[in-house]
Amino acid sequence: MDISQILDPLNKAQRRAVCSEAQNTLVLAGAGSGKTRVLVHRIAWLVQVENVSPYSIMAVTFTNKAAGEMRFRIESLLKTPLRNMWVGTFHGLAHRLLRAHWMDAGLLENFQIIDSDDQRRLVKRIMKEIGIDEKQHPPREVQWFINDSKDNGLRAAQLNPREFRGREFMLDIYSRYEELCQRTGLVDFAELLLRAHELWLKQAHVLKHYQQHFSHILVDEFQDTNTIQYAWLKVLSGNNLPQTNMSSFVVGDDDQSIYGWRGAKIQHIRDFNSDFNASAAAEKEVSTIIKLEQNYRSTGNILQAANAVIANNSDRLGKELWTADSEGERLQIYQAFNEIDEAAYVAGQIEKWIDNGGKRSDIAILYRSNAQSQPHEYELVKRGIPYRVYGGLRFYDRAEIKDALAYIRLATNRQDDAAFERIVNTPTRGIGQRTLEIIRDTAKSNQDNLWQTANTLIENKQLSARAAAALQKFIDLIDEMDCTAEAAEFSLAEQVTHIIETSLLKEYHGKDNSERAQAKVENLGELINAVKRFDDEGDPLLDAVKESLEDMLDKSEEVLSNPMSEFLAHAALEAGEGQADEWEECVQLMSLHSAKGLEFELVFLSGLEQGLFPHKNALQDYVGGKLEEERRLCYVGITRARQQLHLTHAESRTMYGRNEMAYASQFLTEIPAELVTQVRAVNNNMSSFHSSENNKPFSTHDSNEGDIALGQRVTHKKFGEGTVIDIEGSGARARVQVSFDYEGTRWLMLSVANLI
């Protein structure tokens, strides 16, 4: 392959980045400026021109989707499969390293990854044990504290107790949690990263091995790295050495940093230059910054809107996107009466797009929170428009699946307390609170896991005959499911099928004949297919690790861990986006967070209301930091659109069962009016009147009680809750409903929902 194929499709700045000779390169890439393309072509350049071996390259991303796409695009560009290249997410790579070096990392061989749900249960259990009132200190907060500490690389022992005066219990819970996880072979998401970092620091031979193995590290979405990820990269890149040959190539956009709540620090982009040049033995340029500002994605109007919104943020690195493209259409803002009307507008526009020959897969509906997908789904189903929802409750997160996985976990690793707790009495088998309390207490005082404790208690006849019998039945059941090495003669699918059958989970979840129950039974069946798929496809990273460890003395056998553990890790890390219907032609629904990195011809940004987006939690933060992250999220949303962008908000929205009124999002007012067309459909049979108790923002007008003209505004004083109103000119009548907005202001609501 000749160089022109790699370089021809690139502009000048992109080419400069791809061919960068600096040891460390930071690419500041605006939205739609060809960020992924630069990464992919950079790798192709390294392999084809600089003769770098693919497996001395490590490419890190944040999502599995991005990792998969990068691998795919590199393979298509180079026209060769690259099984041995290290491409993965931070968590995926960290997990892979820990599996290969579990002993050096101080973990149990069959350690399991727990999600935040399991984590909260464990925290709760500890709080109960040491008598901390959950009402006063929500487990969520403690959980957040633990994760935040880990994200910053701090273990309980490293925290200063003096800073916890009056909250010493936080530290106490943290260290007990660490101890419990260690003993039972459980690793949470933050722990994956922290352990991997500690592996570098504590095991010099491991670090040295990988420092010699890799010559190039590439990082996507660099603005999203948290402290521990950044430190991990820094150490691996040889920052601790006087001289290193490792080359780092990172790509990011400070304006698209949207994971601050997960510990990401934009500051890392600023620090990169000074932090990654310790090896200044410079025969060649040490570090360089390249800005990509030409946007190839969106129309001029969309880009201008995005620029205008993000300009309200302070402390940016400074980038101004431009396009050679034409202005295009104006953005359209639709003020809906409520979320049903909003969904109807969106679906109507989608039908129009399709009628004009547009593709469904070019359309995305984006929202701030996953719950907002529901009214849209309802409307799309009603009109028979195929769609697909990303995120939200994912396959492996469903209760019935987590139950099944807990059985598999316990069958794989008896020390897994989290799994034990989840299924010891699911389905119910006569093991009640009392028995469980005894097991927990004994386990606590003996510093033992629940499984072993239960066995001991039965042996020593310390339980009532009834409880002991029930517990014994459970123990026998799990033993019979055994998935440890001895089960190797059965395929994964056979083992899982057996577990689902003998656990009676299908009977348990399907007992009432509801649709919901039926779906659960089907999901359990689907789990077997998921196992089969996993067994067929395997983990592309595994091959890479095997290869890279071949030269590491007597370590190669450690790489091959129990296949069932591999599957469980896959379930925890991939969370199971449906893969089968990936290529089906349908409208895409997803949160703004999961939309990052994607693009669509037609985009709907829905729910642009003050309190929802920006979210009310962010508004309470008067420092503005959180609000700025919301604004970046809005920037991400706007820049997803290529041709057409619709922004919608509703005056009233059903939230936790009540109608809530809301003002339009401040972000809407930040878009220059000349870029926008305001749409308001009047040809539906829906009317909405509202006013606040203090007559803000509307003035009051005299009106005969019980008779309202279309479009007239009223106060609640004349029309109390339940008053019947004639809607002038329509012949319709409605009943007044009183609602409250986010600030607690009282409103009157009349809509099609109130028609009588």
* Interactions with DNA, residue window 178-237 (CB under 7 A): 189-190
Query: CB count, 10 Å around CB of 317?
Result: 15
Of the pair 38, 612, the CB lying nearest DNA is at: 612
Minimal distance in Å, beta carbon 539 to DNA? 13
β-pairing, 331-338 vs 641-655, is parallel
Of the pair 353, 628, the CB lying nearest DNA is at: 628
Of the pair 309, 389, the CB lying nearest DNA is at: 389
Per CB under 7 A, which region of 155-163, 429-437, 602-610, 668-676 contacts DNA?
429-437
Judge whether 422 counts as a catalytic residue.
Answer: no
Per CB under 7 A, which region of 59-67, 198-206, 295-303, 442-450 contacts DNA?
59-67
If you ran DSSP here, which 8-state letter would residue 665 be given?
P
Q: How many residues does the chain have?
A: 756
Q: Which of 118, 198, 221, 275 is catalytic?
A: 221
115 belongs to the binding site for DNA (CB under 7 A): yes
Give first-to-last CA distance, the chain, whole Å. Answer: 72
Out of 36, 240, 370, 491, which residue is the one contacting DNA (CB under 7 A)? Answer: 370
What's the angle, vertex CA 659, arms to CA 383 and CA 334, rounded to 5?
50
Q: What is the spatial distance between Cα 469 and Cα 701, in angstroms, rounded to a whole number? A: 76
Q: Which of 220, 253, 341, 342 is catalytic?
A: 220
Out of 47, 350, 573, 748, which residue is the one contacting DNA (CB under 7 A)? Answer: 573
Of the pair 228, 675, the CB lying nearest DNA is at: 228
Nearest to 235 by CA among 200, 187, 270: 200
Residue given tokens 């990392």 in the structure block: 105
Bridge partners of 291? 28
- Give the x/- contact pattern for DNA in 516-555, rule: CB under 7 A: ----------------------------------------
Judge whether 69 counts as a catalytic residue.
Answer: no
Minimal distance in Å, beta carbon 428 to DNA? 4
β-pairing, 746-749 vs 363-367, is unpaired
Per CB under 7 A, which region of 85-93, 411-419, 473-481, 554-562 contacts DNA?
85-93
- Give the x/- contact pattern for DNA in 432-451, rule: CB under 7 A: xxxx----------------
**Concatenated DSSP letters of 340-390:** HHHHHHHHHHHHHHHHTT--GGGEEEEESSGGGHHHHHHHHHHTT--EEE-
Bridge partners of 653? 660
Minimal distance in Å, beta carbon 135 to DNA? 7
Judge whether 220 counts as a catalytic residue.
Answer: yes
What's the angle, vertex CA 439, arms to CA 436 and CA 445, rounded to 5?
140
28 Cβ neighbours under 8 A, 6+ residues apart: 252, 253, 254, 269, 289, 290, 291, 292, 317, 319
CB 308 within 8 A of CB 670: yes
152 belongs to the binding site for DNA (CB under 7 A): no
CB 660 within 8 A of CB 653: yes
Minimal distance in Å, beta carbon 332 to DNA? 25
Minimal distance in Å, beta carbon 394 to DNA? 7
Q: What are phi and psi of 588, to 5 degrees?
A: -100, 130
Out of 25, 33, 89, 413, which residue is the one contacting DNA (CB under 7 A)? Answer: 89
Per CB under 7 A, which region of 100-108, 206-214, 489-497, 613-621 contacts DNA?
613-621
Of the pair 6, 633, the CB lying nearest DNA is at: 633
If you ran DSSP here, which 8-state letter would residue 333 be given?
E
Is the previous residue joined to 697 through a cis bond, with omega within 30 degrees of 0?
yes
Per CB under 7 A, which region of 22-30, 280-288, 610-618, 710-718 contacts DNA?
610-618
β-pairing, 707-708 vs 216-219, is unpaired
Of the pair 430, 729, the CB lying nearest DNA is at: 430
β-pairing, 587-591 vs 387-389, is parallel
DSSP helix/strand/coil, 741:
strand
β-pairing, 724-727 vs 732-735, is antiparallel
Minimal distance in Å, beta carbon 6 to DNA? 30
Out of 41, 101, 124, 509, which residue is the one contacting DNA (CB under 7 A)? Answer: 124
240 belongs to the binding site for DNA (CB under 7 A): no
713 belongs to the binding site for DNA (CB under 7 A): no
Q: Which of 256, 335, 415, 442 is catalytic?
A: 256
Is residue 516 classed exposed, middle or buried when 0-12, 13-18 and 19+ CB atoms within 10 A define those classes?
exposed
Minimal distance in Å, beta carbon 488 to DNA? 28
Radius of gyration of the chain (CA): 29
Out of 371, 469, 485, 488, which residue is the one contacting DNA (CB under 7 A)? Answer: 371
SS3 helix, strand, coil % of the chain, rounded to 5?
50, 15, 35
Of the pair 72, 261, the CB lying nearest DNA is at: 261
Q: Which of 15, 150, 409, 640 is catalytic?
A: 640
Judge whether 256 counts as a catalytic residue.
Answer: yes
Out of 617, 669, 684, 700, which residue is the one contacting DNA (CB under 7 A)? Answer: 617
615 belongs to the binding site for DNA (CB under 7 A): yes
662 belongs to the binding site for DNA (CB under 7 A): no
Minimal distance in Å, beta carbon 548 to DNA? 21
Minimal distance in Å, beta carbon 113 to DNA? 9
The amino acid occupying position 344 is A
Per CB under 7 A, which region of 277-285, 447-455, 461-469, 662-670 contacts DNA?
461-469
Minimal distance in Å, beta carbon 189 to DNA? 4
99 belongs to the binding site for DNA (CB under 7 A): no
- Give the x/- contact pattern for DNA in 387-406, rule: CB under 7 A: ----x---------------
**Concatenated DSSP letters of 640-676:** TEEEEEEEEEEEEEEETTEEEE-PBPHHHHTS-GGGE
How is the beta sheet containing 287-292 ordered, strand by strand?
Answer: 86-89, 57-61, 216-219, 247-252, 24-29, 287-292
Q: What is the spatial distance between Cα 121 and Cα 129, in angstroms, rounded to a whole number? A: 12
Of the pair 274, 428, the CB lying nearest DNA is at: 428
Residue given tokens 């968590």 in the structure block: 91
- Tokens at 721, concatenated: 């809750």
Q: Which of 15, 16, 35, 402 is catalytic?
A: 35
Judge whether 737 counts as a catalytic residue.
Answer: no
689 belongs to the binding site for DNA (CB under 7 A): no
Of the pair 137, 498, the CB lying nearest DNA is at: 137
CB 749 within 8 A of CB 739: yes
Q: How many residues bind DNA (CB under 7 A)?
A: 48
150 belongs to the binding site for DNA (CB under 7 A): no
Q: Which of 36, 452, 472, 723 is catalytic?
A: 36
Of the pair 264, 531, the CB lying nearest DNA is at: 264
CB 209 within 8 A of CB 100: no
Q: What is the spatial distance between Cα 645 and Cα 302, in angstroms, rounded to a whole number? A: 7
The amino acid occupying position 572 is A
Out of 283, 623, 656, 673, which residue is the one contacting DNA (CB under 7 A)? Answer: 656
Minimal distance in Å, beta carbon 653 to DNA? 12
Minimal distance in Å, beta carbon 459 to DNA? 18
* Interactions with DNA, residue window 281-310 (CB under 7 A): none
Nearest to 43 by CA among 292, 287, 251: 251
- Tokens at 138, concatenated: 């929500």
3 belongs to the binding site for DNA (CB under 7 A): no
594 belongs to the binding site for DNA (CB under 7 A): yes
Q: What is the spatial distance between Cα 640 and Cα 92, in angstroms, rounded to a whole number? A: 26
Judge whether 473 counts as a catalytic residue.
Answer: no
DSSP helix/strand/coil, 110:
coil
Active site residues: 35-36, 220-221, 256, 640
Residues binding DNA (CB under 7 A) = 62-65, 89-92, 115-116, 124, 138, 140, 189-190, 258, 261-262, 368-371, 391, 425, 428-435, 464, 466-467, 573, 575, 590-591, 593-594, 615, 617-618, 626, 655-657
